[in-house]
Amino acid sequence: MQKLHLVMGGRVSDPQTLDFVNLEAMDFVGVFPDYASAEEAWSSNARRTLDDAEMKYVIVHLHRLLEPDMLGPKLK
């Protein structure tokens, strides 16, 4: 089964959070077919903005959003 991953980044209000301040200015790097290629893209972009503490790049596991049952039984 294909496991899609989205790499995106943007300016955050606090480097300890994922509170992106300007959603219209988000950098959508791309969608990748596996974690390894997504991690390579994330790493490249994160290194490029290393000196800017308010820039953060993340990997979103799209397959978990598209197929939530993959994670097993829901916790109550």
* Nearest-angstrom CA–CA distance, 32 and 62: 10
pLDDT over 80 (residue 47) = yes
Token couple for 47: 């290194």
- Give the tens place of pLDDT for each residue, 55-66: 999 999 998 888
Can you give the residue ranges of every domain in the chain? Answer: 5-71
Token couple for 68: 């939530």
* Nearest-angstrom CA–CA distance, 58 and 39: 9
Are 30 and 42 in contact by the 8 Å Cβ rule? The answer is no
* Nearest-angstrom CA–CA distance, 8 and 23: 11
CATH T-level fold of 5-71:
Alpha-Beta Plaits (3.30.70)
The structure's pTM equals 0.82
Furthest-apart CA pair in the chain: how many Å? 42
